[in-house]
Structure 1
Amino acid sequence: MVSELARLLQEIMDVESVSGNERALADLVERRMAASPHLEVFRDGDCVVARTALGRAERVVIAGHLDTVPVAGNLPSRLVEHSDGVRVWGRGACDMKGGVAVMLALAGELSAPNRDVTWIFYDHEEVEATRNGLGRLSRNRPDLIEADFAVLMEPTSALIEGGCQGTIRVELTTTGSAAHSARAWMGHNAIHDLAPALQTLAGYRSAEVEVDGLVYREGLNAVGVSGGMAANVIPPEATLTINYRFAPDKSGDEALALLGQWFAGYDLKVTDLSPAARPGLTLPLAREFVEAIGVPAGPKYGWTDVARFSALGVPAVNYGPGDPAYAHRDDEFCPVSDLEKCAAGLTRWLTAPEEAQS
């Protein structure tokens, strides 16, 4: 099983699928899924959906994206011996073709799961949200995304990460008036007007918020600053870009309201907003999943597409092979042991005892 998963991961990694170029990999996935008679297969652009129709009492979605960030001399893939075991090295190994490989293997093997399963392989995750293939599928074929529970196979080092943080970016712009820097008193320095906002950011201490038994650590940071016309001109305008990562106890509107309080007196322009997702770990299906996987759940730091499921009323968790700290790095890799753990964990969850099959 280990060698087969590693081989499969290398096969799909070596089909380059940088965002916008997923067609060849989507074709490969569709061919493999069509070869399994127990699966119904659907296609929406470069999103492939394969699902069982066994009449089970519950349906779950297991999803993963096909695209990667741009290649940086890290293809073709290769196997690397390491002190902790064999690793598959190269673009997409961690984010997230390791998860896709596990999905492909199990979708074909599990012909009679204890729950009906919808396997979703989607495109355009690594780019702007308006192009996201999972979002497009939810608009074009909402029936294909309906479920009682969802697992997103983002890299988590084969651990369970519940829900996700929300993220909001705002631009804070100050306006002054230009003057020769030798006669600064004749103008007004817009960059200097950013000082109170920068002091607020420097003094911020990360809030820790408990949601459904998980503790999320929030973050508030300046992520960009611009302003100035020339080295001898008092700047008439300056812009500070702020990113707030908020816990899933807050809506996007509530996060924006907090920013308005922290930066009172400034005009804020929202440039990006993605809602958080509650982990839903108190629900029976989620508890059964955690029990089957056999590891405790932790919070998800960062935003993932579990928020899309949450917005549709489908509780979801992140669970996949690969260390998320290596996502998008030029030296990204996926331990073969993580592939094996995730495949075994999902198999335990989706394989019913004999009496449940009767």
Structure 2
Amino acid sequence: MTDALTGTPPGQDQGRRPGWLLPEAERHRGRVTDLLADLVHTPSLSTDEAAVVERLRAAMVDLGYDEVQVDPLGSVIGRIGDGPVTIVFDSHIDTVDVGSRDEWARDPFEPAILPDAGGGVLHGRGASDDKGGMAAMVHGAALYKELAYDPRVTLYVVGSVQEEACDGLALEHLLTKVLPRPDLVVLGEATRCQVFRGNRGRIEALIRVAGSSCHASAPERGVNPVYGLAPIVEAVRRLNDRLPSGPFLGPGTVALTKIECETPSLNAVPATATLYLDRRLTEGEDPDSALAELRALPEVQAVGATVELLTYEATSFTGIPVRQEKRFATWTTPADHPGVRAGLATGRDALGQELSLGRWVFSTNGVASMGKLGIPTIGFGPGDEVHAHTAHDQCPVDDLVTAVAWYAGFPSRFADTLTATRGPAAEEGGLL
């Protein structure tokens, strides 16, 4: 049963002042910062996440999770509760590589807390993308169990693998083969501690021009495909300038990310030339329409170039082979969805703050949970995505504490909102 005026179960949050969880989350400041530092210190490229998984598994056990397991692809899963309302907290635990070490002011795997603002900022690879979210979720769920536990809720906290290499692959496996279908997925990707509800989809594709190789001393004997590729490069640049812009997700984009040619030697004309593209898809666009658009470019047709979708193939650290086309759906969760409303309400209740709604510029595991599976998805995470994949990767420590409080307060607030949406009869009839 719920309170008739507040929709809150007896004893749940009644009489508590707005922002009540922030001082409680402060008790976790040192431990959540130490966990993030450990995660940053431990390299975890896609398919090589085993050490980070073990660190997270141990943390969940130490914090008193009801159950901790590792799924076949290697994602770590902690469970709290066994109620009918199912929520999945997901943060990916793999990172991109560091790139040129010359860009880094310090060792990317030796976390450093600098007095940049407030309680300091932790720097190191993965701090913003997405180990800060993971550390805060682990401790936020523990605080939820301690102070805000709701018997209506089953909460899963997931550290998913291989996101940087193939968005959504591991989370889709988990949601379709390991866990029951949840009512909501909450992503820990960086949102500056605001509530996000969507991101653009994308494809990774190549355009290849075939030529005829010959000795470079007599180039007229062959056909150099690089010259056929040159006008396509300019066509791609012009295409980016005329792509549509969505009302919420913003403009579609296309970026040339790599060019290569296949040649027998440096004194031979190449046999093929290939460029690689990252194409971001806004509202109204989809992977098939984006591929058709590339194939229709006059410059592509003029030289008989081929356009192909790339495929991701790898083996997880657990030894399981995976394969998936690199097509990722655009997604948004409606602004009036119970999950979105609960996210904003948690800001008022747990943090004493009015939060704003937004969306990610980069891609997230939401391309699988909402984009492919239709499971409502929102996001809340510490840090700012502008630092992702850069030599300035960082997460404010104050953001970690704020996120711990939000994650602790959200499950019960979501159950309240879901109850109010479906009606008290649903709860009394065991439908929640």
The two structures share one fold, judged by TM-score above 0.5:
yes
In the alignment, is the contact (CA less than 8 A) between 2:200 and 2:283 conserved in 1? yes
In the alignment, is the contact (CA less than 8 A) between 2:186 and 2:378 conserved in 1? yes
Whole-angstrom distance in 1 between the partners of 2:176 and 2:66: 22
Q: Could you tell me which amino acid in structure 1 is paired with residue 364 of structure 2?
A: T
2:227 pairs with 1:192: yes
Q: What residue number does 1:266 align with?
A: 305
2:134 pairs with 1:100: yes
Question: Structure 1 residue 334: deviation in Å?
Answer: 0.8
Q: 1:126 to 1:175 in 2, by over 3 A?
A: closer
Whole-angstrom distance in 2 between the partners of 1:330 and 1:221: 21
The equivalences for 1:57-72 within 5 A come to 58-70=85-97
Q: TM-score, normalised by structure 2?
A: 0.71
CA deviation string 1:257-283 (max 9, x = no partner): 222223445321221423123111245
Name stretches of at least 5 consecutive residues in structure 2 with no aligned partner: 1-25, 102-106, 312-325, 348-353, 420-426
Whole-angstrom distance in 1 between the partners of 2:63 and 2:271: 64
Q: 1:77 to 1:145 in 2, by over 3 A?
A: farther
Q: What residue number does 2:403 align with?
A: 342
The equivalences for 1:307-326 within 5 A come to 307-310=367-370, 311-326=372-387
In the alignment, is the contact (CA less than 8 A) between 1:206 and 1:219 conserved in 2? no
Q: What residue number does 2:357 align with?
A: 297
Aligned CA-pair RMSD: 3.2
Question: Structure 1 residue 150: deviation in Å?
Answer: 1.0
Q: What residue number does 1:24 align with?
A: 51
Q: What residue number does 2:254 align with?
A: 220
CA deviation string 1:130-155 (max 9, x = no partner): 9x5434434541xx152122111112
Q: Could you tell me which amino acid in structure 2 is paired with residue 6 of structure 1?
A: T
In the alignment, is the contact (CA less than 8 A) between 1:158 and 1:342 conserved in 2? yes
Q: What residue number does 2:37 align with?
A: 10
Q: 1:243 to 1:76 in 2, by over 3 A?
A: closer
Q: 1:85 to 1:178 in 2, by over 3 A?
A: same
Identity, % of aligned pairs?
Answer: 24
Q: Could you tell me which amino acid in structure 2 is paired with residue 134 of structure 1?
A: L
2:81 pairs with 1:53: yes
Aligned match for 2:192, one of 147, 157, 163: 157
Question: Structure 1 residue 95: deviation in Å?
Answer: 1.8
Question: Structure 1 residue 231: deviation in Å?
Answer: 5.9
Question: Structure 1 residue 333: deviation in Å?
Answer: 1.6
Q: Could you tell me which amino acid in structure 2 is paired with residue 47 of structure 1?
A: S
Q: What residue number does 1:40 align with?
A: 67
Q: 1:28 to 1:243 in 2, by over 3 A?
A: closer
CA deviation string 1:276-330 (max 9, x = no partner): 2311124522331342243322232222111111212212133211222222334
Q: What residue number does 2:366 align with?
A: 306
- Secondary structure at the counterpart of residue 49 of structure 1: strand
Deviates more, 1:197-206 or 1:2-11: 2-11
Alignment: residue pair count: 352
Aligned match for 2:171, one of 109, 121, 134: 134
Name stretches of at least 5 consecutive residues in structure 1 with no aligned partner: none
- Secondary structure at the counterpart of residue 78 of structure 2: strand
Q: What residue number does 2:207 align with?
A: 172
Q: Could you tell me which amino acid in structure 2 is paired with residue 26 of structure 1?
A: V
Q: TM-score, normalised by structure 1?
A: 0.84
Q: 1:220 to 1:249 in 2, by over 3 A?
A: same
Question: Structure 1 residue 233: deviation in Å?
Answer: 4.7
